Amino acid sequence: MASRKETTVAASTGSSAAASKARSKAAPGDSAVKQVQIDGLVVLKIIKHYQEEGQGNEVVQGVLLGLVVDDRLEITNCFPFPQHTEDDADFDEVQYQMEMMRSLRHVNIDHLHVGWYQSTYYGSFVTRALLDSQFSYQHAIEESVVLIYDPIKTAQGSLSLKAYRLTPKLMEVCKEKDFSPEALKKANVAFEHMFEEVPIIIKNSYLINVMLWELEKKSAVADKHELLSLAGSNHLGKSLQLLMDRVDEMSQDIVKYNTYLRNTSKQQQQKHQYQQRRQQENLQRQSRGEPPLPEEDMSKLFKPPQPPARMDSLLIAGQINTYCQNIKEFTAQNLGKLFMAQALQEYNN
Amino acid sequence: SPHGFPILPCSPGLHFLSFGNRVMRPMRASVSPNRGGGLDPLLTRCGRRFEELTNLIKTIRNAMKIRDVTKCLEEFELLGKAYGKAKSIVDKEGVPRFYVRILADLEQYLNELWEDKEGKKKMNKNNAKALSTLRQKIRKYNRDYESQISSYRQVPGGAGGSSSSEDDDDGEGMSAAAFLKKKEPSGDSRSKFLKKMEVRALPGVRGGGGIAHVWQFPPEMWKKCLESIDELLDMLFANPNIFIGENILEESENLSNFEQPLRVRGCILTLVERMDEEFTKIMQNTDPHSQEYVDHLKDEGRVCGIIGRVQSYLQEKGTTEEICRGYLRRVLHTYYKFDYKAHQREQGPAGDSKVLTPPTPLSAAVGRRGAVGGRPWGGAGRLSPLSPQILYNRTMVQLGICAFRQGMTKDAHNALLDIQSSGRAKELLGQGLLMRSLQERNQEQEKIEKRRQVPFHMHINLELLECVYLVSAMLLEIPYMAAHEFDARRRMISKQFHHQLRVGERQPLLGPPESMREHVVAASKAMKMGDWRTCHRFIINEKMNGKVWDLFPEADKVRTMLVRKIQEESLRTYLFTYSSVYDSISMEILSDMFQLDLPTVHSIISKMIINEELMASLDQPTQTVVMHRTEPTALQNMALQLAEKLGNLVENNERVFDHKQGTYGGYFRDQKDGYRKNEGGYMRRGGYRQQERQANY
């Protein structure tokens, strides 16, 4: 504890200083963070934030505070962002963050920016917005992570909190800002390689652990029946619906890409024909002893069609992947329960 | 003005149905220009316009002096135009006397020239030609100013127009000198009278346009016209040896030779049509909420009587086209009415169909007119102020409402769909202008559109129309929605109805329904649950009775039909929605639930089973419906949808692959091979799809 405090004090010149310090500390390997350790306080704060502010498919967001120890990112505190409403258009986010961090520092709380958190609706979080903000975070503070909190899954009985980081590959692509098909192909980025999940450890102080044990003894077993209930089709239906929407988007995207391909090939053909005609003409001219026609700029004559950005389809694919995993997980659990129920029934009979 | 009648606005182009050409009497004697230097006040008053006119007249007089008829013709045409420009002033002040004078003098002068055979021979070719043209023109033109000219001729130096016109008024009130002549006890008075009629009717035949005019006959005068038409018809009926027709040439007229049939140029039908049109105009221009309107409306009986008489006259003497025109007039007066007498006569369901029939020949007529490009029915179309489109729309709406009364909700919905989905029912039916487009049109267009409006008593109640449409849509859409709850590509039967439903859903606080629409929405919601009693309560209650149902003839019959429809459709909805919960349902319970007798329930369910809407079978001995439970659940449906979508995705993706192959294959020979490979790809996909389809069933 003491050592940690020292670090904080030493690096208390601001978040950028912390970042630079952390960078110097981190090994220049493929990823700066191997593990995320979250304080129970942070988890509770995030859950509370969603319960009080979020509803339906509205997401809540906030800033994570903490520090880096070796290859472990310790998240020790957080604070929420206010919900966006129309009437506070002049709300300055940066100033709000700075002020919050300054105030927290006054009460001796870790005030180093190490990432951000966001709630999600049925696991739909792989979006352009998330990518962009995580990129800017990771660009500025290399170790930063994004915590995704799924309130619906949590409500079903098991806490769902995941830490994600962009892969170095994706970081490179985002830095280049070139999302053309060629560039992505060159970078060899597929939807599987977009995000990496960082394992999470939730750490509580010993006193809290003791209390939890005590509480567990007191809590009635009846509360655990929920775990056994066969989940209704509602959750599955919602997930399917969302999955379907994404598949539709994907289809559209592919159609767009197809059109692009067709246009390019058509143009290629035209270009080829043009070149051939030119060649023949030049040959004729040569035989007649005339000077060949001057070279013309081909790129001016045939403007290549704008290639569609492939990042969106990558993101959609990533999202579909998440949905599929969610559904798989969900159904696997349910199947297990079904089998159990069947076995129980047979046993009773 | 002694009679309190407004001055008639009048212009050269303005002369239809002018019975007893009304004397253009100036309002104040002082305004009317007199001979002795009366021009000066006018000049100051009316400015340039009249100056222009006087200048032109001066030139014409000069040309007359040197016998230059060509010049006369030119100037006369200019004069006509200038007079048209001065119309607004003329409307206010009356026809200036100097204008009448030049018209009269010019005609006399031309007639003199015409009679002068010697002089005519001497004329050069141009002048002779101009003479004949001008003579015809001025004859035509002067017809509109006949009375003024005649009064001018009587008192060439007259001290003013007012005195002469008052003479007319003393005699026959509003009808002018022409009618006075009728009273002359001379042998050929009848032919003279007919001659007059011809003269008056002709402008109507001649004038092709006339649509832009908003000028209107004063109602009192119009009533006088009715009397005269009646008289005319009496005459025609009493004297079968008179032939009239607009095709009889002036030369071949026979007005005096009683040995042979009398032939008179003119058209009684056109006359009646004009009269009828004026009636429409009077109705259009009267405030529909005043007693006056009701009074005017009482005249319709007389109008219809006259039309009937003309028709019976034409039946004997007229051509087919004329008979049809007469018929069309009659239909225009009857098609929107409910024939209570006919209904009482028949005392059965046929009574309604009787009402349904009149529109049909009309629509056929209107339709035909459109198809043939307006030739055979051209006359009628031109005379009818309503555009064929509006007539067509109105007919469709009438048909739709009739169909609804008969319980044919589907037909009613189809007939009303076009009108209702546009959201411009008011405009399409000619029952009012939309405020929205007011800025987009200029005054001229607005005038034209106003002329298209239907008189108030012919209006179709828009709320009733909408209610009929929404209720039919509800009866169709709610069971359909229940049947296709999980269908991804469900089409909408009625967009309008869905819109109303959405509006209802958006309401933050749902109180008891107030408006007609809210009632229908609330009823729809009840029907969705198969709750016919609530649905019935929302559709038929005091409020809705007052707003809609009581307006129907035989309101009770309509209500009974409606209740029955609601019961039937609720039963269907109930079965669609809740069949998945049942293993079997007793038909007796269903019949009790929906207050339908057992055979009806049986027939409805059988129909559903036959149409494969309901997966069930009937168990005769126990009178139950046994569900097959083969319908996929919501989740299964979704999974099927997903599978279909993924199939599409795969197909699209493969196309990318195909494309790549095509491109890499090069442009020459290999291309063909590449495409052949593609075909294989498509076949493979076809196989996939078939599998999928099998999975669907």
Task: Find the mean pLDDT for residues B62-69.
Answer: 79
Backbone phi, then psi, for A23, in 5-degree steps? -60, -40
Q: Looking at CA atoms only, how far is residue A43 from chain B in angstroms?
A: 34
**A117-121, A196-200, B353-357: least confidently modelled range:** B353-357
pLDDT band, residue A38 (cuts 50/70/90): very high
Mean pLDDT of B196-222: 49
Q: In this structure, how many other beta carbons lie within 10 angstroms of the beta carbon of residue B530?
A: 22
Q: Which of B485, B652, B658 to mutate to test the interface with A (most CBs of A within 10 A)?
A: B652
> Are the C-beta atoms of residues A42 and A64 closer than 8 Å to each other?
yes
Q: What is the token pair recorded at B37?
A: 């230097």
Alpha carbons within 13 A on the beta-carbon side of B535: 26
Task: Answer yes or no: do A240 and B638 touch at CB < 8 A.
Answer: yes
Cα–Cα nearest to B331, from B302, B297, B355: B355
Tokens 């699209």 locate to: B652
In chain A, which residue ranges form alpha helices assigned H by DSSP?
2-10, 15-25, 40-53, 93-106, 128-140, 151-155, 168-176, 181-187, 206-218, 225-228, 233-288, 298-301, 311-348
Cβ-Cβ contacts under 8 Å, B667 against chain A: 269, 272
Asked whether the beta carbons of residue A269 and residue B633 sit closer than 8 angstroms, the reply is: no
- The total number of residues shown for chain A amounts to 349
pLDDT in tens, B274-307: 888 888 888 877 777 888 888 888 888 888 888 8
Tell me which chain A residue has its CA closest to the CA of residue B663.
Answer: A265
Nearest to B634 among A237, A244, A265 (CB): A237
CA distance A231 to chain B (A): 13
Which of A138, A133, A93 has the alpha carbon at shortest distance from A114? A138
pTM over 0.90? The answer is no
Are the beta carbons of B401 and B468 closer than 8 angstroms? yes
pLDDT at B682 over 50: no
Instruction: Nearest by CB to B649, from A251, A258, A261: name it.
Output: A251
Whether A152 and chain B come into contact, CB under 8 Å, resolves to no
Average pLDDT over every residue of B82-86:
76
Half-sphere exposure of B572 (CA within 13 A, CB side): 26
Alpha carbon of B626: minimum distance to chain A alpha carbons (Å):
26
Q: How confident is the model at residue A85 (pLDDT cuts 50, 70, 90)?
A: low
The Cα–Cα gap between A268 and A84 comes to: 49
B616 vs B187, residue with greater confidence: B616
Interface test with chain A among B489, B654, B659, by most A beta carbons within 10 Å:
B659
Question: Cα B351–B357–B358 angle (5° rounding)?
Answer: 110
Contact present, B185 and B138 (Cβ < 8 Å): no
DSSP states of B553-606 as a string?
TTHHHHHHHHHHHHHHHHHHHHHHHHGGG-SEEEHHHHHHHTT--HHHHHHHHH
Two structure tokens written together for B439: 């800025």
CA–CA separation, A167 and A174 (whole Å) = 11
Asked if A231 has any chain B CB less than 8 Å from its own CB, the reply is no
Interface probe for B, chosen from A185, A254, A275 (most Cβ of B below 10 Å), is: A254
Above 60 in pLDDT, residue A56?
Answer: yes
User: H/E/C letters for each residue in B344-371?
Assistant: HHHCCCHHHHHHHCCHHHHHHHHHHHHH
Would the CB atoms of B642 and A240 count as touching at under 8 Å? yes
Q: What's the CA angle centered on B17, arms B16 and B21, to 5 degrees? A: 100
- In B282-323 the beta strands, taken as DSSP E runs, fall at none
CA distance B90 to B103: 16
Per-residue tokens: A323: 């949905």
Question: Which distant-in-sequence residues (6+ apart) come within 8 Å of B271 by Cβ?
Answer: B17, B197, B200, B201, B204, B229, B232
DSSP class of residue B612?
T
Which chain A residue shows the shortest CA-CA distance from B650?
Answer: A251
Q: Token digits for B431?
A: 């029952």
> Nearest C-alpha of chain A: how many angstroms from B656?
6
Residue B686 distance to chain A (closest CA, Å): 18
Nearest CA in chain A to B651: A251
Degrees, nearest 5: CA angle A207-A212-A213: 100
Give the model's pLDDT for residue A223: 58
Residue A237 clears pLDDT 90, i.e. is over it: no
Measured CA to CA, the distance from residue B523 to residue B569 in angstroms comes to 12
Chain A residues closer than 8 Å to B649 by CB? 247, 250-251, 254
B363 vs B369: CA distance, rounded Å = 10
- SS3 of A133, please? helix
Test A254 with B635 for CB contact under 8 angstroms: no
The reported pLDDT for the residue numbered A70 is 82
Q: Is B617 a residue whose pLDDT tops 80?
A: yes
Quick one: closest CA in B to A264, which residue? B663
Q: CA angle A166-A171-A173, nearest 5°?
A: 130
Q: Helix or strand or coil: residue B476?
A: helix
A89-98, A218-227, A340-349, B519-528: range with lowest mean pLDDT: A218-227
The pLDDT tens digits of the residues spanning B262-273 come to 777 777 778 888
Mean of pLDDT values over B151-172: 46
Between B345 and A244, the higher pLDDT residue: A244
- Those residues whose C-beta lies under 8 Å from the C-beta of residue A256, and which sit 6 or more positions away, are A308
Q: How far is A263 from chain B (nearest CA, A)?
A: 11
Q: Do A265 and B663 touch (CB under 8 A)?
A: yes
CB contact under 8 Å between B652 and A258, yes or no, is yes
Q: Is the pLDDT of residue B570 over 90?
A: yes
- Residue A111 burial (CB < 10 Å; 0-12/13-18/19+)? buried
Instruction: Report the amino acid identity of residue B530.
Output: G
What pLDDT sits at residue B574? 92
Rounded Cα distance between B57 and B62, Å, is 9
The letter for the amino acid at B462 is: L
Say if residue B168's pLDDT is above 70. no
Query: Which pairs from B613-617 meet CB under 8 Å and 24+ separation?
Result: B613/B483, B613/B576, B614/B575, B614/B576, B614/B579, B615/B579, B616/B579
Asked if B306 and B233 count as a contact pair (C-beta separation under 8 A), the reply is yes
Backbone φ/ψ region at A304: left (φ over 0), alpha (ψ -120 to 50), beta: beta
**Which of A236, A237, A250 comes nearest B649 by C-beta?**
A250
- In DSSP terms, A146 is beta-bridged to A116, A164
Asked if B168 and B147 touch (Cβ cutoff 8 Å), the reply is yes
pLDDT at position A129 over 80: yes
CA–CA gap between residue A48 and residue A52 (Å, rounded): 6
DSSP A251-281: HHHHHHHHHHHHHHHHHHHHHHHHHHHHHHH
DSSP state of B5: P
Integer Cα distance of B474 and B472 in angstroms: 5
Q: What are phi and psi of A36, to 5 degrees?
A: -120, 125
pLDDT digits (tens, 9 = 90+) for B663-678: 444 343 344 444 444 4
Report CA-CA distances (Å) from A297 to A266, A285, A294, A303, B509.
19, 20, 10, 10, 68
Is the Cβ–Cβ distance between B292 and B286 less than 8 Å?
Answer: yes
Q: What angle do CA B574, B579, B582 make, to 5 degrees?
A: 120
In Å, how far is B635's CA from the nearest CA of chain A? 6
Q: Please state, in angstroms and rounded to a whole number, the distance separating the CA atoms of residues A69 and B157.
A: 124
Tell me the two tokens of residue B571.
């039963």
For testing contact with chain A, the best of B654, B663, B664 (most A CBs within 10 A): B663
Question: What confidence category does residue B680 fall into, taking pLDDT thresholds of 50, 70 and 90?
Answer: very low
- For chains A and B, count residue pairs whose Cβ atoms are closer than 8 Å: 49
CB-CB neighbors (< 8 A) of B633 in chain A: 233
What ipTM was estimated for this complex? Answer: 0.74
CATH class of A35-83+92-216: alpha beta
Is the Cβ pair A233, B635 closer than 8 Å?
yes
Beta bridge mates, A165: A196
What does the pLDDT average to over B126-146? 79
What residue spans define the domains of chain A?
35-83+92-216, 247-289+301-348
CA distance B276 to B272: 6
Tokens 């589907």 belong to which residue? Answer: B410
pLDDT at residue B384 is higher than 80: no
Q: Which of A63, A59, A164, A51 is nearest to A121 (CA)?
A: A59
pLDDT the model gives residue B657: 79
Q: Is A275 on the interface with B (CB under 8 A)?
A: no
Residue B208 has a pLDDT of: 35
| Interface-testing mutation among B644, B655, B657, B658, with chain A (most A C-beta atoms within 10 A) | B655
Paired tokens of B252: 């071949």
